Structure 1
Amino acid sequence: MARHPSSRPHLLKLSSLMAISLVLGSCSGSDVLAPPGELLSLERANPVIAPEPQPAFSYPVAVPMQSSGGGNLAEGQVAQPVVTGIGTDSPQLAGAAPDPVVITEPVDATPEAQKVGFLPRFSNPAQTPAWAGGMPAAEKACRQRLKRLGVRFRDIPAINPGRSCNIDYPIELTALSGGIEIKPAAKLNCQITEAFAQWVKNELAPSVRVRYVAGISSINQLSSYSCRTMNSVKGAAMSEHSHGNAIDVGKITLNSGTSISVRKPGFFAFREKNLLNTVRADSCKYFSTVLGPGSDVHHKDHFHFDLRQRKSGYRHCSL
């Protein structure tokens, strides 16, 4: 049967469309040919670009470095750090030094500390110079003499409860030369402590050994610093005890266990009487005031020693 001539162009057009479909199918990798009517709806997929892997090591902008010649580089921010070991598992900064250890001290926020914040700090008041608020030179020299005398003591905070009672640089006396203990420990200024230590070493201890053979084990003090008036009488002048400038001795204990109480000896107590009279007379070379049994009713059972300053330089030694 012969085909109609008018159908040839139609067949040519259909063949062309099928050829185009075969080409597109082979490019997309699909085995299924899309129908001609859907060719216009096909879209080309955008390519997916994977990100490049980032290095695990990050380089700081500014690092401390040294030049190859050993000298320091100019100060400032370094834009291009020198890194060694690139391409390995352990890249390092060339010339990088460990961070310095910074030690900070607590800051004293008191106004006094702020005024002298630029001054060096001193932990020991006795070693602090006077211009930095430490002890005067005379106080330091006194303490050096105490050490040479074999005195055991320690510095304690200033005592200043009021205008009438105070010790600017007090010490706590615990023992004298030869290990003689002071019971209880006495709070005094350095000057009376030195005079007392010299009296015990030069007068009391030798006199006791001559008369009793045994040495002194301890001295019982009845009063050192005490914020009170003279003899604790109301309205009287302030006592030297209120400035730690006096000490009262009530009993002396020997190594043998013998105790010598400071009181008026009995009639037949010749050795005790002689000892007390001797040390009482010799004590006036060291103190400006010496009182004891027989002086008045207030000193019937102890010796009172002080360094009261009198304008005339008079020493009151009641013998």
Structure 2
Amino acid sequence: MLYCVSGSRRVRLVAMSIVLAAAGVGAGCSGEGGLVPPGDVLELSQSAPVMRVEPAAPFIPQTISPVSSSSAISSPNETAFISSAPSGPDMPAQNVLAYPVSDGVDMTGITAALPEGNSNQPVVTGIGTDQPQLVAIPSFEELEAAGTPDRVQITPIEPARVESEPVVVEEKPRQLAGLLPRISNPMAKPEWAGGMPASEKACRKRLKRLGVTYRDLPPISNGPGCSIPHPIELTKLSGGIEIKPAAKLNCAITDAFAQWVKKELAPAARLRYVSGVRSIHQMSAYSCRTMNSKRGAPMSEHASGNAIDIGKITLNNGKAIKVRKPGLFSFREKSLLNTVRADSCKYFTTVLGPGSDVHHKDHFHFDLRTRKTSYRHCDL
């Protein structure tokens, strides 16, 4: 056929063949169809660009109760998991539920199962110890009904106790308030706290050694000159000798009077009448008045409970000895009264009686009046 083609046409066909051959070689080198490079067996194809996500950090799943049918779990065997790995901007897929995403997801059900949501899931305390405990947490509805949904009191559920095992309750010491306890006993209360001075406490110890029966009274204060800071009520002396009626005195005069009765009056009565003393009738003890009850006179020692008046002495044999000037033939009575009256000056600073003045004709007056000197006024 070439021989039938003209020369110019032959030249044109050769040029076209060269162009086509060059185009085929260029296509094979670019990889876009045409010739396949040696060594390639499979046909190469260009795929769409893909954005690769960084792999999520490993997490520890915690199985929770399956979500109800109203939630968005497509399969009944699927179970929701909560990751305990921390979340952050580089790990957006952490701390979320592995719920299948589909249309109609119940976000209320998902939120209720979150760790910080209003969950009714079981909570266990003491993990890592030998005694883990299950903790009961009230539901959100119970908290709302109580009115304090933000204050939850977690109480551990204790296992059932064995009936034979005794329950030992350790009683811890309770600390009292910062105030000092009240002390009702004036002997135990210190002086700086309003208690008795040391002299008053020592006096009462002497009364107990003498066998005196008494009781402490509240402070007496009836105006200027009429007061007893620490009074006592005397009822009995040594040997069971009764004081009738009970006398309100200070401790000092009580101590002196008790010693006089024990050391002077009781031995003198046994010596002369062969009988002990049963009772002593006192005519005056504490009394807020002046001397001899005269207007304008100084305050009497009775006003401070520092004096006692004796009007009658009764013996165990029933004989009553009245304090008065003895009769002419009353020898034993006269001897007794003179003896105890003379010896009383060793115990008191003032002794008055029958023969002193008209105000003391029927009783003995004993007091512990304090004078500037050591003078004792004793009318014998």
Superposed pair shares fold, TM > 0.5: yes
- Report if the CA contact (8 A) 1:292-1:299 is conserved: yes
Of 171, 177, 185 in structure 1, the residue corresponding to residue 246 of structure 2 is: 185
2:299 aligned residue: 238
Of 309, 317, 329 in structure 2, the residue corresponding to residue 268 of structure 1 is: 329
Distance 1:104 1:186, change over 3 A: farther
Deviation string 1:145-183 (CA, Å, 9 cap, x unpaired) is 000000000001110011110000000000000000000
> CA shift at 1:118, angstroms?
2.3
Distance 1:278 1:104, change over 3 A: same
> CA shift at 1:131, angstroms?
1.5
Distance 1:83 1:220, change over 3 A: same
TM-score by length of 1: 0.67
1:83 aligned residue: 157
CA distance, structure 2, for counterparts of residue 265 and residue 304 of structure 1: 17
Of 266, 278, 296 in structure 1, the residue corresponding to residue 357 of structure 2 is: 296
Letter in 2 for 1:248: D
Quick check: which one's helix share is greater? 1
Distance 1:68 1:219, change over 3 A: farther
> CA shift at 1:278, angstroms?
0.6
2:214 aligned residue: 153
CA distance, structure 1, for counterparts of residue 364 and residue 246 of structure 2: 17
> CA shift at 1:126, angstroms?
1.9
1:228 aligned residue: 289
Size of the aligned set, in residue pairs, is 232
Of 265, 277, 300 in structure 2, the residue corresponding to residue 204 of structure 1 is: 265
What is the Cα-based RMSD across aligned positions, in Å?
A: 3.2
TM-score by length of 2: 0.56
CA distance, structure 1, for counterparts of residue 267 and residue 169 of structure 2: 68
Please show how residues 7-86 of structure 1 align to structure 2 within 5 Å: 82-85=156-159
4+ long deviations beyond 6 Å: 77-80, 97-105
> CA shift at 1:84, angstroms?
4.2
CA distance, structure 1, for counterparts of residue 242 and residue 285 of structure 2: 15
CA distance, structure 2, for counterparts of residue 132 and residue 228 of structure 1: 32
Residue 128 of structure 1: SS of its match in structure 2? Answer: coil
Residue 186 of structure 1: SS of its match in structure 2? Answer: strand
CA distance, structure 1, for counterparts of residue 156 and residue 174 of structure 2: 30
CA distance, structure 2, for counterparts of residue 248 and residue 293 of structure 1: 12
> CA shift at 1:125, angstroms?
1.7
1:307 aligned residue: 368
Distance 1:79 1:174, change over 3 A: closer
- Report if the CA contact (8 A) 1:119-1:132 is conserved: no
Letter in 1 for 2:298: A
Residue 278 of structure 1: SS of its match in structure 2? Answer: helix
CA distance, structure 1, for counterparts of residue 188 and residue 130 of structure 2: 48
CA distance, structure 1, for counterparts of residue 376 and residue 252 of structure 2: 16
> CA shift at 1:79, angstroms?
8.1
Of 123, 126, 147 in structure 1, the residue corresponding to residue 184 of structure 2 is: 123
Which structure has more relative contact order (CA 8 Å, sep 6+)? It is 1
Counting aligned pairs with the same residue, the percent is 67
Letter in 2 for 1:182: I
Distance 1:84 1:259, change over 3 A: closer
Alignment gaps of 5+ in structure 2: 1-119, 132-150, 162-167
Distance 1:103 1:222, change over 3 A: farther
- Report if the CA contact (8 A) 1:182-1:221 is conserved: yes
Residue 206 of structure 1: SS of its match in structure 2? Answer: helix
Residue 126 of structure 1: SS of its match in structure 2? Answer: coil
- Answer with 1 or 2: which has the greater Rg: 2
Letter in 1 for 2:341: R
Residue 248 of structure 1: SS of its match in structure 2? Answer: strand
2:319 aligned residue: 258
1:286 aligned residue: 347
CA distance, structure 2, for counterparts of residue 208 and residue 142 of structure 1: 27
CA distance, structure 2, for counterparts of residue 80 and residue 104 of structure 1: 27
CA distance, structure 1, for counterparts of residue 154 and residue 287 of structure 2: 75
CA distance, structure 2, for counterparts of residue 264 and residue 103 of structure 1: 69
Residue 208 of structure 1: SS of its match in structure 2? Answer: helix
